[in-house]
Amino acid sequence: MTIQDRAVTLDVTSRSVVYEGRVWDIVHDSFVFPETGEVLGRDYIDHPGAVAVVALDDDDRILMIEQYRHPVSMYLWEVPAGLLDIDGEDPVTAAERELFEEADVRADTWHVLVDQFNSPGASAEALRIFLAQGIHDIPEDQRHVRDGEEASMKIEWVPFDEALTAVIEGRIHNPSAVSGIMALAVARQRGMETLRDAHVEWNAHPKFRAEATNLYRD
């Protein structure tokens, strides 16, 4: 048996914005559940989705960033990541942009490591994590000027085995970092044969799927 998540087109009878936020909204959907015919209502975060990057250099180190995250009141060690919040920007271009803006580097080679939903019971957020290799520093006069929480970020190149141990021992918690590091560990065990092309379709992302299939009706 091959297991695979499957998309469905439910009868969404109404949609309303419960809260309009700066980055994402909370919406309420009413929909007909096909198993019972019952009309159900659910509130969730209408999220644009995100990308993250595990950047691996020639010395077998991955680039990690320490950033303050207010909802959990912690400084977290993460990999570069950001929202898909620019209209028309494809995921690979977004990942390249985040690596440039957050880490001051570019990469020659890109692959998909893993796709996931971060909290599918409460959010529409889809996350694609890339592996970036062939790393080059960006000259100082061409670097992005960071602000907000990003202004004080620490950037470290961490040996891969050390980063993997930090995941296993529960010392880092960011989902992009945890999933990306674990996915890279598995890919290395399998001779990197599990890596997918960087531009492979991402039909699980609700936005891309909705554009293709017109999931929701007015």
Would you call 150 a catalytic residue per the annotation? Answer: yes
Residue type, 81: A
**Nearest partner of 135 among 193, 77, 35, 62, judged by Cα:** 62
* Per-residue tokens: 209: 């799927």
Residue type, 170: G
CA dihedral 126, 138, 152, 148 (to 10 degrees): -60
Q: How many alpha carbons fall within 13 Å on the CB side of residue 58?
A: 6
Provide the terminal-to-terminal Cα distance of the chain, rounded to the nearest Å: 37
| Distance of alpha carbon 93 from alpha carbon 84, whole angstroms | 10
Catalytic residue (choose from 66, 150, 156, 162): 150
Determine the 3-state secondary structure of 52 from DSSP.
strand
Q: How many alpha carbons fall within 13 Å on the CB side of residue 147?
A: 1
In this structure, are residues 85 and 122 in contact, taking their beta carbons and an 8 Å threshold?
Answer: no
**Nearest partner of 206 among 101, 113, 125, judged by Cα:** 125
Give the catalytic positions in this structure.
150
